[in-house]
């Protein structure tokens, strides 16, 4: 059994052949001769093809962790979300990302402040002594390496410096030399090394 009704200016048809009406489209049934009905459907809005997401991991050619990016809905649904690489950009997720970014900035500032404190301590102490075996002509046997300087600093201050970060000039004789150490990408410590006869 099928019925045809008109209400509020819209004609609707319910029966075996009627398609369900959706909220995003408006269907109008128009009766034709012979008892048949033709359906005319009008779409009201387009389906979203892009989605704003927040990356939970760095993704090549897309962005770094915590970035807000616009990707296709299919890419998000089929790849990023199942792999745990992204979340939908909601207010809760954005607040979480902002809090994480703030904590990372605070940690970087604390690391930089610690490096500046070590640089100040090295400059305040000023001179570290390295003892080497010296020949009759005043030249040392071997050379003074970054490891020797790091050991001297650790013995006198208790602070261990990374050997790779220390820059030592070529030292061939007894004397006082300038040495630099890279404590942080933005902080370089400077101090003097005195080479003495052992």
Query: What percent of the chain shows pLDDT beyond 70?
Result: 77
Q: Distance from CA of residue 180 to its chain's centroid?
A: 30
How far is Cα 25 from Cα 44, in angstroms, rounded to an integer?
A: 5
What pLDDT score does 136 carry?
A: 82
Q: Distance from CA of residue 105 to its chain's centroid?
A: 11
Cβ(168)–Cβ(132) below 8 Å: no
Q: Distances from the Cα of 41 to the Cαs of 24, 28, 29, 187, in angstroms?
A: 10, 6, 9, 68
Cβ(142)–Cβ(110) below 8 Å: no
What pLDDT score does 5 carry?
A: 58
What pLDDT score does 96 carry?
A: 87
pLDDT beneath 50: ranges in the chain: 18
What pLDDT score does 85 carry?
A: 93
Cβ(66)–Cβ(53) below 8 Å: no
Cβ(115)–Cβ(187) below 8 Å: yes
Determine if the pTM surpasses 0.75: no
pLDDT digits (tens, 9 = 90+) for 166-197: 999 998 888 999 999 999 898 999 999 999 88
Q: Tell me 165's DSSP state.
A: G
List, in sequence order, every residue forming a beta bridge with 175; answer none if it has no partner: 195
């Amino acid at each position: 059994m099928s019925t045809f009704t008109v209400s509020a200016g819209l004609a609707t048809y319910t029966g075996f052949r009627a398609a369900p009406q959706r909220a995003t489209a408006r269907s109008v049934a128009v009766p034709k001769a012979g008892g048949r009905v033709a359906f005319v459907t009008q779409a009201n809005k387009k389906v979203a093809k892009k989605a704003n997401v927040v990356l939970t991991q760095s993704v090549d050619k897309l962005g770094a962790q915590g970035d807000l990016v616009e990707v296709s809905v299919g890419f998000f649904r089929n790849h990023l979300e199942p792999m745990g690489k992204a979340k939908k950009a909601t207010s809760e997720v954005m607040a979480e990302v902002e809090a994480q970014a703030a904590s990372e900035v605070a940690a970087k500032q604390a690391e930089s402040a610690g490096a500046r404190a070590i640089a100040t301590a090295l400059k305040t102490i000023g001179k570290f002594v390295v003892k080497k075996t010296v020949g009759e002509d005043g030249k040392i046997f071997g050379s003074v390496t970054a490891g020797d300087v790091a050991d001297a600093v650790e013995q006198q201050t208790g602070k261990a410096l990374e050997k790779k970060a220390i820059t030592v000039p070529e030292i061939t004789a007894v004397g006082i030399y300038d040495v630099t150490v890279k404590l942080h990408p933005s902080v370089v410590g400077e101090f003097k090394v005195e080479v003495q006869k052992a």
